[in-house]
Amino acid sequence: MIRDSIKAALVTAMKGGDKQKTATIRLIQAAIKNRDIEARTGKAPADDDTLVVEVLQKMVKQRRESIELYVKGGRQELADIEAAEVAVIETFLPAQLSEAETTALIMDIKAEIGAESVKDMGKVMAVLKERHASSLDMSKASALVKAALS
């Protein structure tokens, strides 16, 4: 499980004296804990790893947006800190599918559900997210779906 590897990585980082990695892993654990609390009131994913992957993907997305804003604002040192956090977080994410693999999946789903135009984009995205959310960057997949249906 991903949670176990996160806990083991925290112990390793603490023993190794890596303060940056330790702080980032603690942020990850806090975000997962918050998501666990939210899941108590709502519908929790059936698989624990799915929940953890959702949290990690959200954290990466937030940090990439921050990096973009920091670079635009001329704060490269803050962008570098965020980039280091992204690198640590991504070590716990499953391998992402390549653009070619994603396009192949989209074409299969498009044929399967009979999608023909951009009006069917929501249907294709729903199936894609249901089946492959943990191994895709959904924002990139969205652009590929739109291109495939245009």
Ranges of H-type helices in the chain: 2-16, 19-41, 48-72, 76-90, 99-113, 121-132, 138-149
How far is the C-alpha of 1 from the C-alpha of 86, rounded, in Å? 20
CB of 135 closer than 8 Å to CB of 96 = yes
* Poorest-pLDDT segment among 26-30, 73-77, 83-87, 101-105: 101-105
Residue 74 tokens read as: 């001329």
Res 62: pLDDT: 94
Whether 43 shows a pLDDT value over 70: the answer reads: no
Of 33-37, 57-61, 112-116, 122-126, least confident by mean pLDDT is: 112-116
According to the model, what pLDDT value does residue 142 have?
83
Q: Read off the pLDDT of residues 114-148 as tens digits, 9 standing for 90 and up.
A: 877 788 788 888 888 888 777 777 777 888 888 88
Burial class (CB in 10 A: 0-12, 13-18, 19+), 77: exposed
| Highest mean pLDDT (candidates 73-82, 103-112, 126-135) | 73-82
Tell me the pTM.
Answer: 0.74
Give dist(CA 5, CA 33) in Å, integer: 15
| Structural domains for the chain | 2-90 (1.10.1510.10), 99-149 (1.10.10)
In the chain, the percentage of residues whose pLDDT exceeds 70 is 96
Predicted local confidence at residue 47, as pLDDT = 67
pLDDT of 69 > 90? The answer is yes
* One-letter identity of residue 37: I
Burial 82-91 (b: 16+ CB within 10 A, else e): bbebbebbee
pLDDT score recorded for residue 100: 84
- Residue 83: per-residue pLDDT: 95
CB atoms within 10 A of CB 106: 24
| 118 three-state secondary structure | helix
